[in-house]
Amino acid sequence: MKVLHISDTHGFHDQLSIDNDVDMIIHSGDFSNSREVLENRREAQEFFDWFLNLNIKHKILIAGNHDVIVEKDPIFTKAYLNKDVIYLENDWVIIEGLKIFGSPITPTFGTGWAFNKGSTIKNYWEHIPEDTDILITHGPPKGFLDLTINRQNQLELCGCPHLRNKVKEIEPRYMMFGHIHNCKKITNSGTLQIAGLKTIFSNGSCVTDNRFDLGITSHGNYFEIN
For the ranges 99-108, 154-163, 170-179, which has the lowest average pLDDT?
A: 154-163
What is residue 97's three-state secondary structure?
coil
Q: Terminal CA-to-CA distance of the chain, rounded, Å?
A: 6
Asked whether residue 151 carries a pLDDT value surpassing 80, the answer given is no
Q: What is the C-alpha separation between 88 and 84, in angstroms, rounded?
A: 13
Question: Are 150 and 180 spatial neighbours (Cβ–Cβ below 8 Å)?
Answer: no
Summarize pLDDT for 50-102 with one digit per residue, the tens.
999 999 999 999 999 999 999 999 999 988 898 899 999 999 999 999 999 99
The domains found in the chain, sorted by start residue, are 2-224 (3.60.21.10)
Which carries the bigger pLDDT value, residue 214 or residue 92? 92
What's the length of the chain?
A: 226
pLDDT at 212 over 90: no
Note the pTM of the prediction, 2 decimals: 0.97
- pLDDT of 9-19, one tens digit each? 999 999 999 99
